[in-house]
Structure 1
Amino acid sequence: MDSNECRRAVAAKWSNVDYRSLGTDNYDSSASSTDIEENVRPIKRLKQEVIDLTSDDENQEEDISSPFKLVKSDVYDSNVNSAHFITFKEIFGDKRLKKSILFSFQYELDFLFEQFYSGVREIVIVAQKGTIRPCTTQKGISMVDRLSVIEFFMPQYTCHHSKMILNLYDDGSCKMFLPSNNFTYAEANYPQQVCWCSPNLPPSRSGYTEGASEFHDDLIEYLKVYHNKEIVQKIVKDVKLLDFTPLKDVTFIFSAPTKDLTTGFQLLSQRLSDHRKPAESKNSTNHYLCQTSTLGAAISKKTHANLFTHVFIPILHGITSLKSKLVDTETLGGLYRAHNITPYIVYPTVEEIRTSPVGWLCSGWFHFNYNRDMAHYNMLAEELSVFYKQDPKFLSANRKATPSHSKFYMKSTISDDSNPFNNLDWCLYTSANLSLTAWGSGTARPRNYEAGVLYKSGRKPLVCKSFTNVVYKTSRQEIVSDNSQIVLVPFTLPVVKYETAQDEAFCMAKDYNLLDIHGIPYQHH
């Protein structure tokens, strides 16, 4: 079953669930449920005592400033306040908002329009056909006359997967947002979600000049690759009026189904060419991490090679080139040892999902159908030992090990016994899952639309912290230099290896014959 089929199956499975009832304050746990299918009962509410974490001076939360925010969940966070949260009401409810441009894979218009300032003048949606659920609410219907939909067809097994918001304000300025979720209520509230927020982009005094900003150039190239007149008229013209100088330290990385441009993994490799270190010190160790919600199939049926371990790491480290042939796993293991490389794939275990606050309800966004190729799974789990999970010692009581729908790729080089990923060489936050369709490879081109942002250490150090720490205070927080670029991630730092005897990567197609913490059985697809 491919990921699109999985999504449809999950949508059908949970179509009778009144998700909003699980996040309301007036929920009566003694009442019988009529909104949920027969073998599903409501989720227990968290205690409602409000905890204001922004007032904790000892941990200096306010001193940490990051473009990465944790999407506040109606289910997990009704009793928590933090400066590191963001809501879609904040993004779309700004009274200065004149025009909002949205890119996504799914749109639930009733949910989306609830978030908007009623005085917004124009909403532009970019979507593949068949991914918009029409509005039925009074507010939604009242806003339809301000909605422009730019739709296009995508071939089977590909999708318009970019998740991006461009908000244009009355003063001519703009802010970009890259949420990790599509625009549906369930997706915004059940798995963990992250949102990257740009600084304010003022109107340009001199108009668009090619070459003045790499980010600006790449964003315009991305918009043009749709080959759509409406996108040029309704979006590109506005984007060209902006000043992208505030994003001079950030790189826009995108995938697109085109032969005219370098995109996807090949673009990432190009932008990281200055960070390859094939001749590093013998005393340093190199750590490459991928946190994803989907792991695609092996890229070779013969060798069961994996895109991250067999393509990303060797090429980005400078061991092989874009046009090199795949190395076999045994040879790859030797190369890892020779270059002091440790690979990490952070992906939820069955037990993490089963014991999360909403149980199986958060499982529908995580796709790794290794049932069809156990050799691929065994290679990753046993030969390369790449699977990691969140550290139980640092989980918050609110979210526990709820998996995140975000996608982070990062590298850390350390020369001592410190935890890897506290300080980074580079970090990519993106909509692109770990699949050939999303990324392409050294020689193949991607087939999806994807969008993300890349940060690199250099003029400013690149520091990584966990939301479980800065929001939920699960461990003592270290002071960060004012000059640092700070990435915040939704998984614990450090992460820990799967325990071989009991941990298993979640697979939607498997029959687990297990009850979650609410006594609900898993229904496989």
Structure 2
Amino acid sequence: MSQDSQHGKWSVSSSEDDDGDELPPSIKSSKPLQMTVSDHATLSSPTLKVDATPLVVKPEPFPVPALVVGSEARQQAAKNQINPVKYEPSPSLAGKRKLDAADGSGWALSDSDDDDDDAKKKSNPPPARKAPSPKRKKVVDKRPPSPHGRVYYIDEPDDFFESSVPCLDDMFRFYLNKVTGLDRKYNSGALHIRDVLSPLFGTLKESVQFNYCFDLAWMVQQYPPEFRDRPVLIVHGDKREAKARLVQQAQPFPHIRFCQAKLDIAFGTHHTKMMLLWYEEGFRVIILTSNLIRADWYQKTQGMWMSPLFPRLPKGSSDTCGESPTFFKRDLLEYLASYRAPELEEWIQRIKEHNLSETRVYLVGSTPGRYVGPDMERWGHLRLRKLLYEHTDCIPGEEQWPVVGQFSSIGSMGVDKTKWLAGEFQRTFTTLGKSSVRPSPAVHLLYPSVEDVRMSLEGYPAGGSLPYSIQTAQKQLWLHSYFHRWKADATGRTHAMPHIKTYMRASPDFTQLAWFLVTSANLSKAAWGALEKNNTQVMVRSYELGVLYVPSAFNMKTFPVRKNPFPVTSSSSGFPVPFDLPPTCYTPKDQPWIWNIPYSQAPDTHGNVWVPS
């Protein structure tokens, strides 16, 4: 089976399903990568075979910064930014690159317009001729001008950060991040981490940062000077070498302590992204999609839910006081208790002492484990199913209301859609109320195409935050028929690639929502859980966290969609969906971004190409 696009034709073969879409924390370091994917092989044969002699990638000759963290895709993006490969039109790169059809050893990019010629030449293939690899170029004066200049990051203008409390959406409390390089109006009502931690929202005493990737020196600089030495607890999932590097990062900062999340199931990650902020004035919870690294707060689309400022309860109040109609306090305490970590005990006690009754969202978390009986509905997609069953209402014609999912990473779904996506996942995400009717509406999955990444503000390095690998893609070509383009013209963020993850149920005309979820969970069984033992047990690998909006919690039947989220107003009743509706389906020439194959035929917005090591 093959896929064609303006960036080339690639054929892949199906194989058995496996689990896990993120690297285990123990291998988040930059190590030589063994791959069976060649960046200059042919795809003229109907089925790709990737069982040739493995290619051992040697360390690059240039230094990689010590704080390059995260997936291999992120590490590759960092290399690309430090030492970009300049686009050089030439016959060897502009034309079709071929290898002997009998070789079938890996990947190549061919011009799809010439597919008819390919068919004619199969019976009489030309002599094998390997095209020269694009050479890495040092960043010199000949490099084409780019918005970043000679340094990848540019400083934000003085008025980029808030100097007074901004106009915020007080109803839904759902915010996008600020994006460097956008018109000011598209950052109005959006928040940077420096805004979130500023004195505008409270006099900070202590904080906890739950996350997956950390740059601690950068993180400390985001706190205002007056709060920069206040105690911070880092909750992470790193082990062994990665943990040692994280601890080393903290050496200059004696106010930082650590709490290691237990990850006892292979391929699980601590993917939750949350801040707990304790102020002199009260307490606040922020659940978000950004890692604690500069790249995630620079030119990507991210989202967050920021709680109200929760006041302290009167002394002597019982632990059950201050509960919200959504039982947010109970569920947050249960989530924190799942860590079984002494370091979080004082925070559990602090939460008990505050009034969280104003919360209008439901907490949807995942924690690693195998669960049976009633515990199956505590975490993952079965937790979401239970909430949708109990707190949403049936809608006439609901079979016409599609599910829309949007994410930045994709795990193994199985050899066909029945294995997980159209079974467990769709069964959960199409639940509306207590109806016994189980329709199968359309499922639209939003994931950036190669062209979306190429034309983004960051260019090809934006794909470092979209770690969909060819090894996974080759097992599930059927999934790509669900894909839709990432477009966000209404928000002015079309070219700020998404790291946000959102899921929702929309009306056929996409003007109403039955519910909306923002979460850290990507499209994977590791994040959402998978049923086992004839559906009597659910297994979850990772820590994840998100918040669910249902209309009943806001005294509404459905959420109207706000067509133009910017500028933000505090009185709007429409929900600020962070991408354009209706979704735009991939065309036959569109190809999902896959990080570990080359894209050399067209330059990105910085005049560079993508040649993974």
CA distance in 1, matches of 2:140, 2:494: 25
**2:440 matched to 1:440?**
no
Quick one: structure 1 residues 317 and 523, their matched pair in 2 at CA, closer, same or farther if it must change by over 3 Å?
same
Q: 2:490 touches 2:565 (CA, 8 Å); kept in 1?
A: no
In the alignment, structure 1 segments of 5+ residues that lack a partner are: 20-33, 55-60, 322-334, 474-478
Secondary structure at 2:460 match in 1:
helix
Q: Quote the Cα distance in structure 2 between the aligned partners of 1:350 and 1:225.
A: 39
Bigger Cα displacement from structure 2, 514-523 vs 215-224: 514-523
1:89 — aligned with what? 194
Higher RCO by CA contacts (8 Å cutoff, separation 6 or greater): 2
2:265 counterpart of 1:158 = no
Q: 1:388 aligns with which of 484, 508, 513?
A: 484
Structure 1 position 192, deviation (Å): 1.6
* Runs of 5+ consecutive residues of structure 2 not aligned to the other structure: 1-19, 29-69, 84-136, 532-536
Match of 1:257 in 2: 368
For 2:183 and 2:331, locate their aligned partners in 1 and report how far apart those are by CA, in whole Å: 39
Change in 2 beyond 3 A, CA 1:280/1:186: closer
Aligned partner (choices 356, 381, 388) of residue 272 of structure 1: 388
The one of 161, 171, 177 equivalent to 1:71 is 177
The yes-or-no answer on 1:11 pairing with 2:75 is yes
The secondary structure found in structure 2 opposite 1:363 is helix
Contact 1:266-1:441 within 8 A present in 2 as well: no
| Offset at residue 162 of structure 1 (A) | 0.3
SS of the aligned residue for 1:14 comes to helix
Preserved contact between residue 80 and residue 610 of structure 2 (Cα < 8 Å): no
Q: Which residue of 2 aligns with 1:105?
A: 212
Q: How big is the shift at 1:434?
A: 1.0
Out of 301, 306, 311, the position equivalent to 2:424 is 311
Structure 2 equivalent of residue 297 of structure 1: 412
1:491 aligns with 2:591: no
For 1:98-497, list aligned pairs within 5 A.
98-120=205-227, 121-129=230-238, 130=242, 133=246, 144-152=253-261, 154-155=263-264, 156-171=266-281, 173-205=282-314, 206-209=317-320, 212-213=323-324, 214-233=327-346, 235-247=347-359, 249-259=360-370, 261=375, 262-274=378-390, 281-282=396-397, 285-298=400-413, 300-301=414-415, 303-305=416-418, 307-317=420-430, 339=439, 341-374=441-474, 376-377=476-477, 379-382=478-481, 386-391=482-487, 394=490, 396=492, 399-414=493-508, 419-420=509-510, 422-442=511-531, 443-458=537-552, 459-463=555-559, 465=561, 469-471=564-566, 484=573, 486-497=574-585
Which amino acid is 2:190 matched to? F
1:425 shift after superposition: 0.9
Q: Give the residue type in structure 2 aligned to 1:470.
A: P
SS of 1:496's partner is coil
Structure ranking higher in strand proportion: 1
1:506 and 1:341 mapped to 2: Cα distance? 26
Q: 1:481 to 1:79 in 2, by over 3 A?
A: closer
Residues 96 and 170, structure 1, Cα contact 8 Å, conserved in 2: yes
**Distance of 1:63 and 1:258 partners within structure 2:** 36
Q: Which amino acid aligns with 1:471?
A: F
Which residue number in structure 1 is paired with residue 147 of structure 2? 44
Which amino acid is the alignment partner of residue 212 of structure 2? F
Post-superposition Cα deviations, 1:287-314, rounded to whole Å, max 9, x if no partner, equal 111001111112x33x354644332223
The alpha carbon displacement at 1:242 in A equals 1.2
Does the Cα contact within 8 Å between 2:178 and 2:187 map onto a contact in 1? no
**Alpha-carbon deviation of 1:7?**
1.1
Pick closer, same or farther for the CA change 1:381–1:480 going to 2, 3 Å.
Answer: farther
Partner of 1:25: none
1:79: Cα distance to partner? Answer: 4.7
Residue identity matched to 1:438: A
Q: Would the alpha carbon gap of residues 37 and 363 (structure 1) be closer, same or farther in structure 2, given more than 3 Å must change?
A: farther
Structure 1 contact 423–461 (Cα < 8 Å) conserved: no
1:44 CA displacement: 1.7
Give the Å deviation of 1:509.
2.2
Per the alignment, do residues 36 and 487 of structure 1 end up closer, same or farther by CA in structure 2, a change over 3 Å counting? farther
> What SS class does the counterpart of residue 353 from structure 1 fall into?
helix
TM superposition shift of 1:276: 7.0
Inter-CA distance 283–231: structure 2 relative to 1 (3 Å threshold): closer
TM-score, length of structure 1 as denominator length: 0.76
Cα 1:445–1:50 change in 2 (3 A) is: same
**Is the Cα contact below 8 Å between 1:294 and 1:433 reproduced in 2?**
yes
Match of 1:10, SS state, is helix
> Could you give the per-residue CA deviations for residues 222-273 of structure 1, whole angstroms, max 9, x where no partner exists?
111111112113x2111111111011x2111100013464211111111111
Aligned partners of 2:157 and 2:215: how far apart in 1? 31
Deviation at 1:153, TM superposition (A): 5.0
CA RMSD of aligned residues (A): 3.9
Contact 1:99 1:169 in 2 (8 A): yes
The answer (yes or no) to whether the contact 1:292–1:433 under 8 Å persists in 2 is yes
Matches within 5 A, 1:503-514: 503-514=590-601
Aligned length: 459
CA distance in 1, matches of 2:512, 2:587: 26
Is the 1:17–1:36 contact (alpha carbons within 8 Å) kept by the matching residues of 2?
A: no
1:63 CA displacement: 8.0
Alpha-carbon distance, 1:523 to partner: 1.9
Contact 1:275 1:425 in 2 (8 A): no
Give secondary structure in 2 for the equivalent of 1:190: coil
**More displaced 10-residue stretch of structure 1: 250-259 or 490-499:** 490-499
Query: Would the alpha carbon gap of residues 362 and 203 (structure 1) be closer, same or farther in structure 2, given more than 3 Å must change?
Result: same
Q: 1:373 to 1:347 in 2, by over 3 A?
A: closer
The Cα offsets for residues 102-131 of structure 1, whole Å up to 9 and x where unpaired, read as 100011011100011333332111112226
Equivalent residue of 2:538, what SS?
A: coil
Query: Is the Cα contact below 8 Å between 1:93 and 1:117 reproduced in 2?
Result: yes
TM-score (norm 2): 0.66
Q: Residue 400 of structure 1: CA displacement?
A: 3.2
CA distance 1:364–1:405, change in 2 (3 Å): same
Aligned equivalent of 2:607, options 491, 496, 519: 519
2:147 corresponds to which letter in structure 1? K
Preserved contact between residue 276 and residue 316 of structure 1 (Cα < 8 Å): no
- 2:502 & 2:181 partners in 1: Cα distance? 22
Deviation at residue 43 of structure 1 after TM alignment? 3.3
Distance 1:184 1:283 in 2: 41
Give yes or no for contact 2:76–2:612 (8 Å, CA) kept in 1.
Answer: no
- AA aligned opposite 2:293: T
Q: Higher mean Cα deviation, 387-396 or 38-47?
A: 38-47
